Amino acid sequence: MSGTTGTASTAVTPSPAEEKAADKARLLTVLVNVCGVPYAHWKTHPIALALRRDGVTLFHADFIHMTAADIDARQYEKGGALVPLELNCKMIL
Protein backbone atom coordinates (compact mmCIF):
# COMPACT_ATOMS: atom_id res chain seq x y z
CA MET A 1 0.00 0.00 0.00
CA SER A 2 1.30 3.39 -0.88
CA GLY A 3 0.08 5.24 2.17
CA THR A 4 -0.72 8.40 0.22
CA THR A 5 -3.78 10.37 1.08
CA GLY A 6 -6.21 11.77 -1.43
CA THR A 7 -5.73 15.39 -2.35
CA ALA A 8 -8.60 17.71 -2.95
CA SER A 9 -8.63 19.20 -6.40
CA THR A 10 -9.59 22.81 -6.78
CA ALA A 11 -11.55 24.10 -9.71
CA VAL A 12 -9.95 26.92 -11.61
CA THR A 13 -12.42 29.59 -12.63
CA PRO A 14 -11.28 31.83 -15.47
CA SER A 15 -11.53 35.56 -15.05
CA PRO A 16 -14.14 37.42 -17.13
CA ALA A 17 -11.39 38.66 -19.44
CA GLU A 18 -10.07 35.11 -19.94
CA GLU A 19 -13.58 33.80 -20.59
CA LYS A 20 -14.21 36.54 -23.16
CA ALA A 21 -10.92 35.74 -24.93
CA ALA A 22 -11.85 32.04 -24.97
CA ASP A 23 -15.30 32.85 -26.37
CA LYS A 24 -13.71 34.92 -29.17
CA ALA A 25 -11.39 32.00 -29.91
CA ARG A 26 -14.41 29.66 -30.07
CA LEU A 27 -16.04 31.91 -32.68
CA LEU A 28 -12.86 31.95 -34.77
CA THR A 29 -12.67 28.15 -34.51
CA VAL A 30 -16.26 27.82 -35.74
CA LEU A 31 -15.71 30.25 -38.60
CA VAL A 32 -12.63 28.37 -39.81
CA ASN A 33 -13.52 24.74 -39.06
CA VAL A 34 -17.28 24.73 -39.59
CA CYS A 35 -18.05 27.64 -41.91
CA GLY A 36 -14.99 27.10 -44.10
CA VAL A 37 -13.58 30.61 -43.76
CA PRO A 38 -9.87 30.42 -44.72
CA TYR A 39 -7.75 31.24 -41.66
CA ALA A 40 -5.49 33.48 -43.74
CA HIS A 41 -8.51 35.64 -44.70
CA TRP A 42 -10.72 35.39 -41.63
CA LYS A 43 -10.56 39.14 -40.96
CA THR A 44 -11.63 40.07 -44.50
CA HIS A 45 -14.02 37.23 -45.38
CA PRO A 46 -17.62 38.41 -46.03
CA ILE A 47 -19.05 36.18 -43.27
CA ALA A 48 -16.64 37.56 -40.68
CA LEU A 49 -17.20 41.14 -41.87
CA ALA A 50 -20.99 40.77 -41.67
CA LEU A 51 -20.86 39.27 -38.18
CA ARG A 52 -18.42 41.87 -36.88
CA ARG A 53 -20.47 44.73 -38.40
CA ASP A 54 -23.49 43.62 -36.40
CA GLY A 55 -21.52 43.14 -33.18
CA VAL A 56 -21.28 39.34 -33.24
CA THR A 57 -17.84 38.89 -31.67
CA LEU A 58 -18.44 36.07 -29.18
CA PHE A 59 -19.59 32.50 -29.75
CA HIS A 60 -21.69 31.72 -26.67
CA ALA A 61 -22.91 35.27 -26.08
CA ASP A 62 -23.77 36.21 -29.68
CA PHE A 63 -23.34 33.60 -32.42
CA ILE A 64 -25.42 30.72 -31.10
CA HIS A 65 -28.40 33.00 -30.49
CA MET A 66 -28.76 34.07 -34.13
CA THR A 67 -32.09 33.30 -35.77
CA ALA A 68 -32.81 32.72 -39.45
CA ALA A 69 -34.02 36.32 -39.68
CA ASP A 70 -30.74 37.54 -38.16
CA ILE A 71 -28.75 35.57 -40.72
CA ASP A 72 -30.92 36.78 -43.59
CA ALA A 73 -30.40 40.41 -42.58
CA ARG A 74 -26.59 40.21 -42.46
CA GLN A 75 -24.74 42.78 -44.56
CA TYR A 76 -21.12 43.84 -44.86
CA GLU A 77 -19.29 46.85 -46.27
CA LYS A 78 -17.73 46.42 -49.70
CA GLY A 79 -16.26 49.44 -51.42
CA GLY A 80 -17.98 51.78 -48.96
CA ALA A 81 -21.47 50.42 -49.65
CA LEU A 82 -23.52 47.94 -47.66
CA VAL A 83 -23.88 44.66 -49.51
CA PRO A 84 -26.13 41.78 -48.44
CA LEU A 85 -24.36 38.56 -47.63
CA GLU A 86 -24.43 36.14 -50.57
CA LEU A 87 -26.88 33.26 -50.38
CA ASN A 88 -24.17 30.61 -50.14
CA CYS A 89 -22.68 32.43 -47.13
CA LYS A 90 -26.11 32.65 -45.50
CA MET A 91 -26.60 28.93 -46.04
CA ILE A 92 -23.27 28.21 -44.35
CA LEU A 93 -24.33 30.20 -41.30
The distance of Cα 17 from the centroid of its chain, to the nearest Å, equals 16
> What are the extents of the domains in the chain?
16-92
Query: 92: left (phi > 0), else alpha (psi -120 to 50), else beta?
Result: alpha
> Distance from CA of residue 25 to its chain's centroid?
7
CB atoms within 10 A of CB 44: 11
Q: What is the pLDDT of residues 58-72, one digit of tens each?
A: 999 999 999 999 999
Tens digit of each residue's pLDDT (9 = 90 or more) over 70-79: 999 999 999 9
Say whether pLDDT at 6 is over 70: no
